A and B are shown apart, each in its own frame.
Chain A
Amino acid sequence: MSVRRSGRFCRCLALLAGLATTAAPAADALVVLTVDVEYLESGMPLYAAIATQAERAQQGVESTRRSEIELARDLRQSEVLTALPEAISEVALAANADLVLDREVAQRVGASAADDVTEEVERILVSQFSQLPLEPGT
């Protein structure tokens, strides 16, 4: 390798080093995850399971009791919705994520390649609520 070529090589290395420095923001390249909010808020089979549970409990009972069960079902569904942000946070913390976005938002801002954690969030909610009995009147 001639001296001139070696000099060029050094300059190129310096350029690369420069690029590495400008790539310092890579440290703040974000870990972004996505979830399907619509599915988690209304489409999960968990909601259907809660409805089925309520329907079964309503069979052969008087109307006052039926309304109580109906109320218990509504309450359980709102409990799931209340637990949703916590479940998302739990998954985000475990993944050391910076941001969790709804799929639609992620698509809009060009981050649709981010990992989707809808299933993980659903798993948490299912484990938390699927085995709980409906407790009318409480």
Chain B
Amino acid sequence: MSRLLVLLCACWLPWVAQATARMLVVDLSEAYTRSTALAGLLADIDAELKALAQRHRPTLERLRSELQQLKQQAPADRDQQLAIARKISDVEAAAELEEERLAQANQAAIEQVDQAITEVKGMLKKETGARAVLDIQETQYVRPDCPCLATERLYELLNQRLPKVELRLADAES
């Protein structure tokens, strides 16, 4: 009798192991709205860009207007025109530098979110005993009601793990 049971167990256990070693699929295409960190980051970037434009626009507009007037009133005064053109170029360079710093800060923040997504995928794997968590782009087809879809749970865990990401702008001098 016990032999029979051992045999039954031997047949049964690998099947159980295989059945539980499942795969999960997550769809990150809506990450910029579903992740609170990314949605916040997007709003922060937008605000920073607007502020940046606001900071430089008045100066640039004034200098361009001055240059225009100078060209009309004293076309021969090249030195003064050149001085204003140089100022315009300096302001534009400063704005570009700020934009670059913003882009770098954005990149660093996105990397933080990416890292959190990787960690959350690991958590999902552990939680469900799945052998892999695939991005939907890595698949050729997923049945819409597939039990493998774990997008909701991923965002739930991600928003707990990283509710917000900070946009850290490097100092202007560094």
Point out residues on A near B: beta carbons under 8 Å. Answer: 1, 5, 8-9, 12, 16, 19-20, 22-23, 25-26, 28-30, 32-33, 35, 37, 85, 88-89, 92, 97-102, 105, 108-111
Most chain B Cβ neighbours within 10 Å, of A1, A5, A85, A98: A98
Stretch of B13-21, B65-73, B104-112, B155-163 on the interface side? B13-21
Most chain B Cβ neighbours within 10 Å, of A8, A32, A109: A109
Q: Do residues B20 and A85 form an inter-chain contact, with CB atoms below 8 A?
A: no
Chain B hits for A5, CB < 8 A: 1
Instruction: Determine how close the nearest CB of chain A comes to the CB of B9; give it in whole angstroms.
Output: 7
> What does the 1/0 interface line of B121-156 toward A look like (CB < 8 Å)?
000000000011010001111110011100000000
Q: Do residues B141 and A92 form an inter-chain contact, with CB atoms below 8 A?
A: yes
| For the complex of A and B, 4 pairs with smallest distance between CB atoms | A26-B19, A28-B147, A109-B132, A100-B141
Instruction: Determine how close the nearest CB of chain A comes to the CB of B170; give it in whole angstroms.
Output: 37
Instruction: Determine how close the nearest CB of chain A comes to the CB of B46; give it in whole angstroms.
Output: 34
Q: Knowing A101-B139, A111-B23 touch, does A30 contact B147 (C-beta < 8 A)?
A: yes
Q: Knowing A26-B15, A29-B18, A110-B131 touch, does A98 contact B146 (C-beta < 8 A)?
A: yes
Determine if B76 is an interface residue (Cβ-Cβ < 8 Å): no
State the interface size on chain B (CB cutoff 8 A): 27
Q: Do residues B141 and A88 form an inter-chain contact, with CB atoms below 8 A?
A: yes
Q: Which residue of the partner chain A has the closest CB to B6?
A: A12
Q: Do residues B143 and A97 form an inter-chain contact, with CB atoms below 8 A?
A: yes
Instruction: Determine how close the nearest CB of chain A comes to the CB of B151; give it in whole angstroms.
Output: 14
Given contacts A97-B143, A110-B131, 4 further A-B contacts (CB under 8 A): A16-B9, A19-B13, A23-B12, A109-B131
